[in-house]
Amino acid sequence: MSLHFNVSACVRATSKFSDCTKCVDACPESIQLLDNLPSFANKTGVEAAACVGVCPTEAFSLSEFSTTEFFFSFLDSKIRLISPKFNVPCISVLSVEHLISLALASDEVITLDMSSYDETSILFEQIDARIDEANFVLSAFSDKRLESNMEKAKPSEVSKESEAKDEDNEENSRRSFLGSASLKGVVKHKMTFDEAVEADELKAFQLDSITIAKIKEKHLPDKRKILFTTLKHAGVPDAFEVLAEEDITFTSQKFVDESCTNCQICYRICPTGALSSDGKFSLIHFDAMLCVKCRLCHDVCEPDAIQLQPGFEIKEFFEPTQRTLATFNIKRCNECGNNFTYKGGEQTCPRCMVEEEEAMFLHSNALAMKAEVERVALENKKLEEGDK
Ligand code: SF4
Ligand code: SF4
Ligand code: SF4
């Protein structure tokens, strides 16, 4: 089994300002940053592939194991045990979203077999933290839970019955399941912003044109489509809780403060289309259910205007809304005729304003130089007249 890295899905390839180190933190011995991009260290194997489960944009995948395929085949089977001995290469390939979706979609409690892991290892800690997070988030709206088991799992718990499948039917039902996850706005965002990401910035990484074209596409990871669709089938709770921002790693809610300059970078660059604007760039929209908390928007925002909301409202899971984080007064520049974000005063865009200031500076410099030349010439003339 080998590990694949899709560079076009990595937020570090989208912007050199990205600080994402989730894969490196998950697997520091195997993954390092080289020229700002994740790179595999020599002589390291695919023992755990924790990076697959932790990457917010699904940039990593395994050659012989698909987390999406596993989601469906596991639920179709009679097994309710997830174990590296039987059905996954490592539990760490599953994200928190997968764990929540599996718990919600299963009628029986799912047990995660932790008996193969060293309790003192980083890997154990990471998997344990994901199970805790999944259970914590589940507790906000459901009585479903995941269990973890440190005792040796018994092979007899694996039912052979589930292994005979009609593969064509499975494939079709999977496609239609993911297809039904039509999140409001994704298609619109994709059409509006296909051309938006600055190719020049991407070229700084010496990426080829095919990779650059892929980066420009807004792409929602399959794990989010699975979660969204699973939530649609879960019962709506009587009351909606608010979770602390730091307790949820896979999505967020945001606000934009008054220091925003409408530089357009965050909504052009957001990989999923969670941040978006209209055709005139006169507002910033945000869909929490499309956000994968990759933090790219925060990393690229120079004035630090986009911020995480302290609490995440569980209501977003059941009644997703597109919120307007900021609106801007767009006017046409009197000098160049281009649209710009008007903040009062002269109706001149910042670029023309800078050009005007430069022109005035050059003009006053030229006048000063002319005056100096005239003064020197006058002095010379006086000296010449004195000599006579
Ligand atoms: S986006 Fe994924 S691959 Fe890229 S740095 Fe973050 S975790 Fe690693
Ligand atoms: S929030 Fe930041 S990155 Fe986004 S438009 Fe405003 S200033 Fe630019
Ligand atoms: S809104 Fe920001 S954190 Fe969320 S997916 Fe877009 S860039 Fe990433």
For residue 179, the one-letter residue type is: G
Determine, yes or no, domain membership for 288.
no
Which secondary-structure segment (H or E) carries 308? strand 306-308
Confidence of residue 154 (pLDDT cuts 50, 70, 90): low
What is the rounded radius of gyration, in angstroms, for the C-alpha atoms of the chain? 28
Closest ligand to Cα 263: 2
Backbone angles phi, psi at 128, to 5 degrees: -60, -40
List pLDDT tens digits, range 338-380. Answer: 888 888 888 888 889 888 888 888 989 999 999 999 999 999 8
Are residues 10 and 37 in contact, defined by beta-carbon separation less than 8 angstroms? yes
Q: Which ligand is nearest to the CA of 295?
A: 3
Instruction: Return the ligand 3 atom nearest residue 251 CA.
Output: 4
Q: Could you tell me the distance, in angstroms and rounded to a whole number, from the CA of residue 11 to the centre of ligand 1? A: 6
Q: Is 268 left (phi over 0), alpha (psi -120 to 50) or beta?
A: alpha
Which pair of tokens denotes residue 64?
């012989």
Q: Which helix (H) or strand (E) holds 153?
A: none
Query: Within a domain: residue 383?
Result: no
Residue 94 lies in a domain: yes
Q: pLDDT digit string (tens) for 19-41?
A: 999 999 988 888 889 888 998 87
pLDDT, residue 96, reads 97
Confidence at 200, pLDDT banded by 50, 70, 90: very low
Atom 4 (ligand 1) nearest CA: 10
Q: Tell how strand 37-40 and strand 31-34 pair up.
A: antiparallel
Cα–Cα dist 254/243, whole Å = 14
How many angstroms does the Cα of residue 100 sit away from the middle of ligand 1?
21
The answer to which of 15-24, 196-205, 274-283, 379-388 has the lowest mean pLDDT is 196-205
| Residues 59 and 224: beta-carbon distance below 8 Å | no
Q: Tell me what pLDDT residue 50 has.
A: 84
Q: Could you tell me the distance, in angstroms and rounded to a whole number, from the CA of residue 284 to the centre of ligand 3?
A: 13
Task: Provide the 3-class DSSP secondary structure of residue 13.
Answer: helix
359 located within any domain: no
Taking the CB of residue 129, how many other CB atoms lie within 10 A of it? 12
81-82 vs 110-113, strand pairing mode:
parallel
Q: Separation of 12 CA from ligand 2 center, angstroms?
A: 18
| Lowest mean pLDDT across 128-132, 134-138, 170-174 | 170-174
* Residue 229 confidence (pLDDT): 87
Q: Would 70 be classed as within a structural domain?
A: yes
Nearest CA owner, ligand 3 atom 6: 270
User: Ligand 3 pocket: which residues have CB below 6 Å?
Assistant: 270-272, 274-275, 291-297
Label residue 233 by pLDDT band (50, 70, 90).
confident
Which domain does 124 fall in, by range? 66-183+220-235
pLDDT tens, residue by residue, 293-312: 999 999 999 999 999 999 99
Of 6, 12, 292, best ligand 1 pocket probe by most atoms within 8 Å of the beta carbon? 12
Is residue 229 included in any domain, yes or no? yes
Report percent pLDDT > 70 for the chain.
Answer: 81
Residue 54 Cα: closest atom of ligand 1? 7
Q: Would residue 151 count as lying in a domain?
A: yes
Residue 58 lies inside a defined structural domain of this protein: no
Return the closest-CA partner of residue 96 out of 245, 223, 6.
223
User: Could you give the number of structural domains in the chain?
Assistant: 1
Return mean pLDDT, the chain. 83
- Listed in sequence order, the residues at least 6 apart from 262 whose beta carbon sits closer than 8 Å to its beta carbon are 281, 284, 326, 328, 341
Going from the Cα of 321 to the center of ligand 2, the distance in angstroms, rounded, reads 21
Ligand 1: distance of its center to the CA of 50 in Å? 12
Residue with CA nearest ligand 2 atom 5? 262
pLDDT band at 81 (very low <50, low <70, confident <90, very high): very high
